[in-house]
Structure 1
Amino acid sequence: MRKLLLVAFAALVLAGAVVASLAYWPISETVQLDEKTGDAGRGAYLARMAGCIACHTDSANNGAPLAGGVALPTEFGTFYSPNLTTDVEEGIGSWSRKDFARAVRQGVSPEGKPYYPAFPYPFYRRLTDQDIADLWAAFQTVPPVATPSREQEVPFPFSFRDGVKLWRAVFLKPGPFKPEPGKSERWNRGRYIVEGPAHCGACHTPRNFAGARQVELKLHGAEDLPDGDVAPPITAEALLDNGWSRQTLAYALKTGVLPDGDVFGGSMGEVVRDGTAFLTDEDLSAIATYLLDQE
């Protein structure tokens, strides 16, 4: 019995040491931003492309723009999007541009805490300094709304926020965008949008037991999405096999209307309504060019 007690005590001490080390493990990288003048108009366009409006505006309950509160139910719990308005107490009104860049590209709060990867910062790491400046300028135009962000409904052990640091160490890859040599400017623009701000792989790539994307199956489709949605494969092979062309794909992303006259439903319908419908024809063509791997 005494040995069992000693083993149990040692295990508790070890667990406490692990918890303490995680709590004090710094994960924030030094933020270095070129001094660029932000364009609020371009930033608003990027916010649409990146899904900020859709994810942070509770339209179903007539919520104020970017005031948060949109639920994302997952197998790890239900996450709620936070308030991104300029309110000093409840939003991001007290943040600096460097705080914003750290949050968006690193997934780290101004206090140094990791954000859950329900926030697609693994994709936003590809945003340029100009993108950050433009987004920041756009967010400064959002009226303040004093709506508190909802607490995440995540059970233990996922509720231990510092445990996300272990997830990051294993699965988070660095990644400023680098154009693919030998590919056209339009193809690379499409790749930047798909793999960066539009974060298409967040839904169209299957995930492993830890909720990380299976990169070897990029864009091969996924099941068990929030609200029971299923995302089909959108690899070039799958799209071509299903009869998509660059013109029909760009048109569907603009209007939500499929080649057979049906329309996108579920989450993809929301993506079109709040995001891709606002993109330029040039960017829609670039997305289609990349996904179909055509020049």
Structure 2
Amino acid sequence: MLRRILLVTALAGGAGFGLFWWLTIPAVVAANALPSYQPDLANGLTTFNAGGCSACHAVPNQPDRLKLGGGLAIPSAFGTFYVPNISPDPNDGIGRWSEADFVTALQKGTSPAGQHYFPALPYTSYQRARVEDIRDLFAYLKTLAPVAGKVRDHEVPFPFSIRRNVGIWKWLFMDGKPFTPDAAQPVRWNRGAYLVNSLGHCAECHSPRNFLGGIIGSQRFAGGPDPEGEGWVPNITQKGLADWSAKDIAYFLETGQMPEGDSAGGAMARVIKNTSQLSPQDRAAIADYIKSLPPVEGPPRPPKKAKSDDKS
């Protein structure tokens, strides 16, 4: 009897491990899945600014937003992540990446080495982006100056450090679906919806998360604790921005100035450096979409200690 129990246990364990291994296979985009394409560098620049690439990937504490050597520390409940070098440097950056490597990283969250990226890279939003936009972005990044310097390893404790486990996280929180326009809405609204939900990855900061670090879908855009551990990210549905007009939102994205006279601080100040580079039409499109978000009650906000704590 004991031998049978041990055998059944071993078989069940083997089957469970096999299922885990299958569910966590890192997805990739094959090079032959990308048809011949002539990149549009102007659109690559737009994509770069819409995606806020320099907000995280620029070398900290220096003025050149195109010096993409990485190194920014992003604290979280799961450890501290250090933003990688995405300059064209062949040794420390992405200079040796293929186009398929880059598309795979952004849409599948898989590295050229075939490992899962931690979701500190917001690929749950980038999966919505058009492949053409990603290819244009890659072409644009290759025009920038290479920056030497390897970024330090992430400081992520066990068991979160096991990258294979990220495959289960992706299975729970990634659906692989591209952005789908709403035929009932005007073109400008759909452009804004696309930018906000894909490249702009606004929900990644402006939404509360569950204990696994996944966005709580019912409270998307409703604000919550800052993912970096300090302050509070505001609710950008009509629950939080009812007094803002679409013009107010567009002006904020250009200047960082709020209707009440305050200005953006913290991580949002870095974001404004990127959105300010977008065309007025794209800022207006983003504003139209955000203004259309129905009111959603977010998690209760703790008492405000000081204005500097608010990362609005």
| Bigger mean CA offset, 166-175 vs 198-207 | 166-175
Separation in structure 1 between the aligned mates of residue 68 and residue 15 of structure 2, nearest angstrom: 39
Match of 1:253 in 2: 253
SS at match of 2:80: strand
Aligned residues: 286
Match of 2:241 in 1: 239
Confirm or deny: 8 A CA contact 2:24 2:166 kept in the other structure: no
CA separation of 1:162/1:126 partners in 2, compared to 1, >3 Å: closer, same or farther?
A: same
**How big is the alpha-carbon RMSD for the aligned residues of Structure 1 and Structure 2?**
2.7
* 1:36 partnered with 2:43: no
Confirm or deny: 8 A CA contact 2:23 2:168 kept in the other structure: no
Confirm or deny: 8 A CA contact 2:47 2:134 kept in the other structure: no
Separation in structure 1 between the aligned mates of residue 100 and residue 34 of structure 2, nearest angstrom: 8
Q: Partner letter of residue 44 of structure 1?
A: L
Q: Which ranges of structure 2 fall in alignment gaps of 5 or more residues? A: 294-312
Match of 2:310 in 1: none
Separation in structure 2 between the aligned mates of residue 35 and residue 180 of structure 1, nearest angstrom: 29
Normalising by structure 2, report the TM-score.
0.84
Match of 1:105 in 2: 107
Q: Which ranges of structure 1 fall in alignment gaps of 5 or more residues? A: none
Counterpart mapping for 1:159-198 below 5 A:
159-198=161-200
Match of 1:199 in 2: 201
Separation in structure 1 between the aligned mates of residue 24 and residue 130 of structure 2, nearest angstrom: 29
Match of 1:50 in 2: 51
C-alpha offsets along residues 227-274 of structure 1, whole Å, 9 cap, x if unaligned?
40311111134311xx1001111111110111111111121122112x
Q: Partner letter of residue 50 of structure 1?
A: G
Match of 2:84 in 1: 82
Q: Partner letter of residue 267 of structure 1?
A: A
Counterpart mapping for 1:209-288 below 5 A:
209-240=211-242, 243-273=243-273, 275-288=274-287
C-alpha offsets along residues 167-212 of structure 1, whole Å, 9 cap, x if unaligned?
1111112121110111000110110011010110011111000001
CA separation of 1:204/1:89 partners in 2, compared to 1, >3 Å: closer, same or farther?
A: same
Confirm or deny: 8 A CA contact 2:23 2:167 kept in the other structure: no
* 1:292 partnered with 2:291: yes
Deviation at 1:156, TM superposition (A): 0.3
Confirm or deny: 8 A CA contact 2:29 2:100 kept in the other structure: no
Separation in structure 1 between the aligned mates of residue 18 and residue 231 of structure 2, nearest angstrom: 37
CA separation of 1:207/1:280 partners in 2, compared to 1, >3 Å: closer, same or farther?
A: same
Deviation at 1:15, TM superposition (A): 11
Q: Partner letter of residue 247 of structure 1?
A: K
Deviation at 1:18, TM superposition (A): 6.6
* 1:152 partnered with 2:154: yes
CA separation of 1:22/1:38 partners in 2, compared to 1, >3 Å: closer, same or farther?
A: same
C-alpha offsets along residues 44-82 of structure 1, whole Å, 9 cap, x if unaligned?
221121011111112326787111111100010000111
C-alpha offsets along residues 94-117 of structure 1, whole Å, 9 cap, x if unaligned?
111111111111111112111000
Separation in structure 1 between the aligned mates of residue 15 and residue 266 of structure 2, nearest angstrom: 43
Poorly superposed stretches of 4+, deviation over 4 Å: 13-20, 61-64
Match of 1:69 in 2: 71
Q: Partner letter of residue 148 of structure 2?
A: A
C-alpha offsets along residues 108-152 of structure 1, whole Å, 9 cap, x if unaligned?
111211100000111111221220221011111122222112201
Q: Partner letter of residue 253 of structure 1?
A: L
